[in-house]
Amino acid sequence: MYGAYNPPMPSLPERQESPFCCKPTGEGGNRQGRTYIGDDADLANDMNAVSFEEREKVYHDIHGVSELPEETTKLLSTCLEQLDACIAKSRHTNLAKARFLRPKLDTDRDFKLMFLRSTEYDAVKATRRMCDYFDKKCEIFGEDMLVKRITISDLSEEAIECQRSGLLMMLPFKDQSGRPIQFFDFSKINWDPVAIRSHAQWFWYIIMNAVEGDATAQRRGVLSVSYAPGSGLLEPGSCGRLRGLLAPAESISDALPFKLSCTHMCYDDPRFDFLMQIIRVAASRRNRLRMRGHYGSPIEIEYSLLSFGIVSQNTFQRSRQGDLAKQNCEYIETQLRKEKRQAEMEAEDEARTGIVMYPRPNDILIGRGQSYRNYPAAQVFYKIIDTYMDQYLSSKERFEKVSLSIDVVSALRAAGYRMLQRKPSGWEILDAVSERQKVAVAFRSRLPKKVSSPRRVLANGEANTDFESDPKRRRV
Residue 132 is predicted with a pLDDT of 95
Per-residue pLDDT tens listing for the chain (476 residues) = 444 444 444 444 444 433 333 333 333 344 445 554 445 666 677 777 888 888 899 899 999 888 888 999 999 999 999 999 999 999 999 999 999 999 999 999 999 999 999 999 999 999 999 999 999 999 999 998 999 999 998 988 878 877 777 788 888 889 999 999 998 888 777 777 777 778 888 899 999 999 998 999 999 999 999 888 765 566 666 666 676 677 778 888 889 999 999 999 888 877 777 777 777 777 888 888 888 888 888 888 888 999 898 887 777 777 766 777 788 888 888 889 999 999 999 999 998 999 999 999 899 999 888 888 889 898 889 889 988 898 988 888 888 889 999 999 998 998 889 999 999 989 999 998 999 999 999 988 888 765 444 444 444 455 444 444 444 444 43
Length of the chain measured in residues: 476
Do 94 and 131 meet the contact criterion of CB atoms below 8 Å apart? Answer: yes
Strands 426-429 and 260-267: unpaired
CB burial readout 310-345, b (16+ within 10 A) else e: bebeebbebbeeeebbeebeebbeebeeebeeeeee
Using DSSP's 3-state secondary structure scheme, residue 417 falls into coil
Helix (H, G, I), strand (E, B) or coil at 471: coil
What pLDDT sits at residue 3? 45
Q: Mind giving me the DSSP string for 171-203?
A: EEEE-TT--EEEEEEGGG----HHHHHHHHHHH
Give the model's pLDDT for residue 363: 93
> Are residues 278 and 239 in contact, defined by beta-carbon separation less than 8 angstroms?
yes
How high is the pLDDT of residue 450? 59
| CA–CA dist 180, 217 (Å, integer) | 7
pTM assigned to the model: 0.81
pLDDT for the residue numbered 6: 46
Closest CA to 279 of 18, 13, 22: 22
pLDDT of residue 277: 76
Compute the distance between CA of residue 80 and CA of residue 418 in angstroms, rounded to an integer: 35
Alpha-carbon distance of 247 to 296, in angstroms, equals 27
Cβ burial, residue 62 (10 Å; 0-12/13-18/19+): buried
